[in-house]
Every structure is written in structure tokens, then in C-alpha cells.
Structure 1
Amino acid sequence: MNDLVIKNGKVILADGAVVTDVAVKDGKISQIGQDLEGTETIDATGLVVSPGMVDGHAHITSMGGGYRDQWEGYETGTAACAKGGVTTIVEMPLNQIPSTTDGASLQAKYDSGKDQLRVDTASLGGLVPFNLDGGIQELDEGGVCGYKCFLATCGDRSIKGDFQNVDDYSLYEGMRQIAKTGKVLSLHCENAALTDTLGKKAVEADAHTLKEFVASRPVFTEVEAVRRAIFFAKVTGCRINICHCTCWEAVAEVVKAREEGVDVTCETCPHYLYFTTDDLDAIGATTKCTPPIRDKAEQEGLWKYLLDGGISMVVSDHSPCTPDLKDRENPFDAWGGISSIQNCMDLMFDEGVQKRGMSLVRFAEVMATDAADRFGLAQKGRIEVGKDADFCLIKPNSPYTLKAEDLEYRNKISPWIGRTIGCQVARTILRGKTTYSLEDGVTAAHDGEFILR
């Protein structure tokens, strides 16, 4: 007998969406078809049954190191995942202290998450200038699903163990080593020398708006770094993923390289597909991120590439902080990250499927399947017999207005507060167990596990 049957929902399968039943046994999808029976039944009539989101880019600060202890931890971060229909995250190697750059720091992260996860969690290891002598290999042996580096300036040099951006040699040598693991390197692509200097000159000239901040990190500084990453990938044979593309020109470089045989993908985020530069100053520093949110023409180009397959993944780049780091007199001084993981699935279903006619199959690809495939998470991302029974049940055409008290985040900051979203996550299921429902909220159980590759 099956443990659970989800009945009468519109189920997104690889080749189309059909009204059918899905059965679960021992945490796996056991059957797909009509008139299935199980010990527990969920009536999904009128709901879309999607694979749970596989978020390929999320920052959780499980270890604050005395510096970031009040930032987002696993307890609140994964509760927000559950409420938002996320069942798997690929966690970044920063902003925790110490950053995840060797075997010891990776194990410390695993230890810090014990009994705190409501979502399955895979980890990226860092590529930094100080872990080229064995650290990359230790991370591989410890089960990371890939690696992450910054071409833009990052980290606080006054904090021991904080993350650092790569120089060209570290990038080259790190890529050579990562290529031998067969795993993917994700890159934050902005030209550090240009953006640092342009930002400094803007502040010296009394720049004090978010629009001026965006202007200090122009499109070409992102595109140049993407081209450099792709060229190094050609030289080293390293598989790469370009993080959070904000402009269609960067995606065009990825598409061109892929056609030439380079193993490269790219991602974007809901905030780049929803807000434009002209929105930012009216909302405030909750919208500040790097690379920055661009103009309407760039946004329209991103949507075109997302719909036609040029962009592989939509990710949250959930990068929360404490309120004081956003509440700065000059937004140039504010933290550059957006809290977003709770509202990826509902926003993208509304903006993509309901407003722009994105097919349900494409929705599942960009929100789950492609990220699972890219990071080698073989049990995730598809509604298919034998895969993990991870689902997000979506209630279409059911608008609600997001309020701060709706957020599960430790610090209830979001640029979408006060915005109306045209659908709702009705239920989230992780390996056959409900982690959230509209009726009962987030469950108390911590059924998430670390995924080791």
C-alpha cells in the first residue's frame, strides 16, 4: 500500500501537465496514474502539482562567528523555504564564518545544521585565493555538489575566515583543480577593478541614490567578467555556471559559448524579472543587490531568454542581513543582498505562467529540473517514478498581498512586502511529508537532510 496519494491535481510531468494521481511510498514517487490508493490522501483538485523548487543559489548564515549571529540561520531560512514551496537548496559557501573553503569548515557547517533543516540541502564549496593547496580536494571528498567564486570584490578582510574574491591566477588554478572533480563552478561575474573604482568615484561625487548605484556598476562590467569566465573555462575545461545574470548581453555570451561547445549555463533571479531601476529609490535599500537591478529593456531581454531556454535556472540568491545593514543614509553603504527565498515559486508562477504564458513544463524546468541536473542532484527536480517525492502544490488565480508578518525570515525584510501576488503555495511536501500547508502553516518537524555528492 502506498503511504500517500495526491489525487486530481494538474501534475507537471516532463512531457506535459495532466490531471492525474501521484503516489508515494517510503519517500519516493511510487506510481503516477488514475485511481491510485494510499494510506493518506490529499485532494489536489484545482491545484497545480509542481516539483518542489530546487533553489540553485541560497545564502544561509548558520555560523555567525560572533559577527553575523543575528543573520538568517537554518531554522528560519528553511522554514521560509517550506512556506515558499522550496524542497532543496544549493547553499553558498558564504556569508557564514568561517566560509566553506576546506574539509573542516564544511564539516562545521554540517554540524551546525543538525536537527534544524526543513529542506534538503546541498553545499557549494568556495574557490578563494587561500584554498588552492588541498582545500578544493577536501571539499570534493566532503560531498559538495559544486563550487563558487567571486570575480567582484567580496568579504571583510578584518574577519578571519571570511570569503574572498579570486584574482586571475586563483581563478585559473582553481578552475584547473575543479575541472578534475567534474563538478560545476558558479561565478559571480562583475569586474572588480572597474566596479570598485566607479563606485568610489560616484560617492566622491556625492552620489546617494540607488539609481546612481546601478549606474556605477554598468552592464559592460558584468559582460566583461562573463567573457573572462567563459574564456578561462575553455582553457581549463572547467564546467561553469554564471550566477544571477541581470542583462541580456551576459546571457547572449553564455548562449554563444554553449553553441561553441563550452559546458556553461546561467541563472537569473525573480528580482531582476520583476523590478527595474526606476522602481528602486521609491522602495529603498531592500532592493539593493549586486549585480544591480537593471532597466526595462534588460528585463525584457531576460524574459525572452528565460522563455526560449537561454537561461537555465531561476534562483533566489536569498542573501539576507540584519535591518541595520539596510537602513543606511546612503544606499551605497547598505548591504547588497535581497531576501527572496519565500516568494520565488508564487512570484514566478504568477509572472511567468499566469501573466506571460510560460508553459507549465518550462516552469518546472527553470524552477527545479535544470538546477537539479546541473548540480548532480539525481533524486531531485522531477515528478517521476523513483525520484524523491518533493512537491509544491500551487493554487492558481488566488491573489494575496504579502505582509511582513507573513515572512518566516529571522529579519522580516523583503522588497515584495505590500505587493499583490496572483497565486499561493497551498502545500509543500518533502520526501512524502508535508512541511507547509495553507491551513496549518509550517510544520514543527525538521525532516530535511544534507545531500552529499
Structure 2
Amino acid sequence: MGFELIVRGGTLVTAQGEQRADLGIEGGQIVSIADELLDGAPHTLDASGLYLFPGVLDAHVHLNEPGRTHWEGFETGTRALAAGGATSFFDMPLNSSPPVLDAATFEAKRAVAAAKSLLDFGLWGGLTPLNLERLDELAEAGVIGFKAFMSHSGLDEFPAVDDVTLYEGLKAAKRLGLPLATHAESDGFTRRLTELARSGGASTARDYLNSRPVVTELEAVQRALLYAHELDAPLHLVHLSSGQAVALAVEAKARGVDVTIETCPHYLHFTDADVERIGAALKCAPPLRPQAVQDDLWGALLRGEIDIVGSDHSPAPPDLKTSDDFFALWGGISGAQSTLNVLLADGHHQRGVALAAISVMTALNPARRFNLPQKGELRVGADADFALVNLGQRFTLEQADLQDRWRQNPYVGTSFQGQVTATYLRGRAVHQHGQFDSTVGGKLLTPHLQGAL
């Protein structure tokens, strides 16, 4: 058998555990895995002492292009993702302008992503009261799923769903075989709490945190789970911030609800105290929680109850992150580059999370849930997407290391254990030691509608 590339001497991380093996790659795919490949190849990569993780599939990013490229964009955003070991990502239907609410806006985003993305990409379509009748054309165009907000998105052009829209959207998701992702915070609850806080002159980070307590997440999660159960529809709960919310979803899953659970690295790494210390770079919704709530979330992760970890990378220009009024700041955390680092340092080294579990949450489960059989694992027949990681390397993230447009990553100054040294997409190095190859080029990922997680 001929190979274009042989990766020798690395330790493969799979759902089954760790395996020292060589990889044979041909035509962008893994065609052989063996203890030792005796064949030759035009190119050989010495991975001795390194771990090969399946490339991170970040199911939750906001790269904001077209329309708000000055916020981020596919070129800078995918450099950041690649530097963190990602090979694929799904871009949310907002904050690009216009948002992806029909086939025409899908095509506009697809075209710019195809021209600029370093990585393979899928595109979410939106569900709002404005486009309930356009879900079929979005599915035909190739969306990876639908995204709805149960609270104000921050953009009037992407309004929150009312109960009927959410219910009918889930019904359509069931019919079309695509998951519906929900930002689960109660709009009525958060809106009224914010009004009460503002009328009393509230403006601090603590005031903002108090205006979005955990119960506003729990109410929305319960409602979404109820509708999904009634309709037997595929539901994906994004960025859950509390172990209590995860527990509701786990209980529903035990009753047969088709639900997957996502959290984000920032909920695992930072607490509400960090928001008051760091400020605007850590404003998000749902907000960061107290230490006890974070500990519950880690408990859920350690028990294997969290399916997916996605970055929810959501940048904005500095002028939108600068104000004495914390409520007026644009919410969103820039962290596309740090997902694997957080899980390795905080999860593996500090809390004992198995490397296999990290690979499942960042690669295999997103690929399965969104029906991408070529992605998410190191196996014969899969795309040769992987990150080379030096687990023994300790480093401090510096602002100069960042690749996203505004470099407002709140992890700057954090010491991490485990460094990504290279990222390979379909057998080609898209990132090596801080250098990037834009000639590899990303491809659109569309779901193969057979099977699910």
C-alpha cells in the first residue's frame, strides 16, 4: 500500500483509550493504522513523544462574516481555531449580517467561508419568528442544524423565539432530521430582572450577574425539554452553565428525549469572581457562575453527562467592550484558541479527566450528533484530521500568541499544561508552531442524515 504521509511514533487518542501507533495517510484520509508501518512514503512526520488527538470539531463559534468582519472573520477566526487544535467548526447564523435565515443568506456565508476559511466548516441556520417557513430551504441548502434564542440575542435582526415558534421549529427539525440548538434562558424572566435592576440604577458586573440567575436557565431548559419530549424532536442545549441544568437534561435523556448537552471552557475555568476581576472580556450569557455551581458542572463532566464542549467564541471590537456600564457591554467571550488547553490543563491534569473523554467531547460526539461520519476520530476511512499535542509542555498564553482579530482572550496570562504543536487537516499541516498554510483550504460540511448520537 502506498502512502502520501506516514505519521510515526505518536500516541493516538481515541474513544477507546491511548494507542502507540503509526498512521498511513493517502488522499486526505487515514488508510492504515499499525504498530509500525514498514512501507515508505514521500513524507514522514516524526511524532515521537507527542499525542495525536482527533482534530477538534468546534460546534459553536461566531465568526461574524459577512457583514461584521471587523468583529472577527473567517481568516483570523480559523487561524485561532487551528492554533488550538481545531480542524472543523460550525458557524452560528449570527452575528453575521444579515443572519442566515434563508437559502440566499446561507449561500452568501458559504461563499465567503469557502474563500477564506483555513478549516472545514458547517453552517447553522437560524430559527426566529421571522423565518419559520424557511427551514426547509435552509435544510436543502445544507445547514448543519437550526439555532434559536429563548432570550434576546442582542440583535433585533435575530429575535427570540416565542413558544409557538420554538414548538413548530422543533416539529420541523424532527421532520428534517436536523437538531435544533437552543440558547436556553427565559426571555420574560431575564428581561424583567434586567428592567428592575436598571430602574434601580444598577450598572456593575455584580448587578449584571444577579440579573441572570441559574433559575432563568433552568426554566428555559425545562420548557425546551418538554417540547422536545412531546414531539420526539432532536434538541441540542448549547452552553449550559450549571450542573443543575445538565441534570435536567440527563433526566430527560433517561426518559428517551433526543437531547445532547453542550458546555463551554469558560464555564469550567472561570467563576463569577473572575468576572468582577477581569471585566468585559468575561461578559457572556448565561453568565459565569459561583464556584459551587462550577463544581457541580465539573461533576457532571466527570460523570460523562456532558456530550460536547464548544468554545462559543463570540468576539467584538474593543469599543463594544468598553463602558462603565456593564449592562451596555457586548456580551461574548473570545476563546476559540483555548478549548483543548482548558480541558487538558483543568480537566486532565487537575481533575483526572481521561484523554479519551476529552477527544469524545471535542471531536467524536459533535461529529456523531451532526451526522459527519468522516470526522471526529482517528480510524481507517476517516479524514486525516488531527492535532499534535505535547502533554509535557507547560506554557503561559501570551497576547502575542493569539490569532483572533482583537486578541481579547481572557485566558491571557494563564499557565497551561499541554501545548498544541501542529494541526493537520485532511493530512496537510494547516498550522505548525505558529505558522499557517492558507493553501489547504476548508470545505463545506453537510450532514449525512443517517444515525445520530
Per the normalisation by structure 2, the TM-score is 0.96
Counterparts of 2:6 and 2:342, CA distance in 1: 27
Match of 2:274, as an amino acid? D
C-alpha deviation, 1:240, in angstroms: 0.3
User: What residue in structure 2 maps to residue 303 of structure 1?
Assistant: 298
Q: Percent identity?
A: 39
User: What residue in structure 2 maps to residue 197 of structure 1?
Assistant: 192
Counterparts of 1:433 and 1:150, CA distance in 2: 37
Counterparts of 1:87 and 1:145, CA distance in 2: 16
Alignment of 1:40 with 2:43, yes or no, is yes
Alignment of 1:384 with 2:365, yes or no, is no
Alignment of 1:118 with 2:118, yes or no, is yes
User: What residue in structure 1 maps to residue 85 of structure 2?
Assistant: 85
Match of 1:138, as an amino acid? E
Alignment of 1:421 with 2:406, yes or no, is no
C-alpha deviation, 1:211, in angstroms: 2.2
Is the partner of 1:282 in helix, strand or coil? helix
Within 5 Å, which residues of 2 pair with 1:92-241? 92-133=92-133, 135-157=134-156, 162-241=157-236
Alignment of 1:54 with 2:54, yes or no, is no
* Residue deviations 1:246-287 (CA, integer Å, cap 9, x gap): 011100000000000000111100000000111111111100
My pick for the range that moved more, 263-272 or 390-399, is 390-399
2:286 aligns with one of 277, 291, 295:
291
Match of 1:447, as an amino acid? G
User: What residue in structure 2 maps to residue 272 of structure 1?
Assistant: 267
Which consecutive residues of structure 2, in runs of 5 or more, have no partner in the other structure? 448-453
Counterparts of 1:365 and 1:423, CA distance in 2: 18
* Residue deviations 1:98-133 (CA, integer Å, cap 9, x gap): 111111110111112232111100111111101122
Counterparts of 1:289 and 1:446, CA distance in 2: 33
Match of 1:394, as an amino acid? V
Counterparts of 2:394 and 2:161, CA distance in 1: 44
Match of 1:9, as an amino acid? G
Counterparts of 1:84 and 1:69, CA distance in 2: 21
* Residue deviations 1:189-209 (CA, integer Å, cap 9, x gap): 000111111112212223232
Is the partner of 2:11 in helix, strand or coil? strand
User: What residue in structure 1 maps to residue 404 of structure 2?
Assistant: 409
Does structure 2 retain, via aligned residues, the 8 Å contact 1:210–1:281? Answer: yes
Match of 1:91, as an amino acid? D
Is the partner of 2:42 in helix, strand or coil? strand
C-alpha deviation, 1:168, in angstroms: 0.8
Counterparts of 1:17 and 1:423, CA distance in 2: 16
Is the partner of 1:422 in helix, strand or coil? strand
Match of 2:62, as an amino acid? H
User: What residue in structure 2 maps to residue 6 of structure 1?
Assistant: 7
Match of 1:139, as an amino acid? L
My pick for the range that moved more, 88-97 or 110-119, is 110-119
My pick for the range that moved more, 234-243 or 311-320, is 234-243
Alignment length, in residue pairs? 444
User: What residue in structure 2 maps to residue 27 of structure 1?
Assistant: 28
Counterparts of 1:442 and 1:69, CA distance in 2: 20
Counterparts of 1:452 and 1:257, CA distance in 2: 28
RMSD of Structure 2 on Structure 1 (CA): 1.2
Which consecutive residues of structure 1, in runs of 5 or more, have no partner in the other structure? none
Per the normalisation by structure 1, the TM-score is 0.96
Counterparts of 2:167 and 2:132, CA distance in 1: 11
User: What residue in structure 2 maps to residue 443 of structure 1?
Assistant: 437
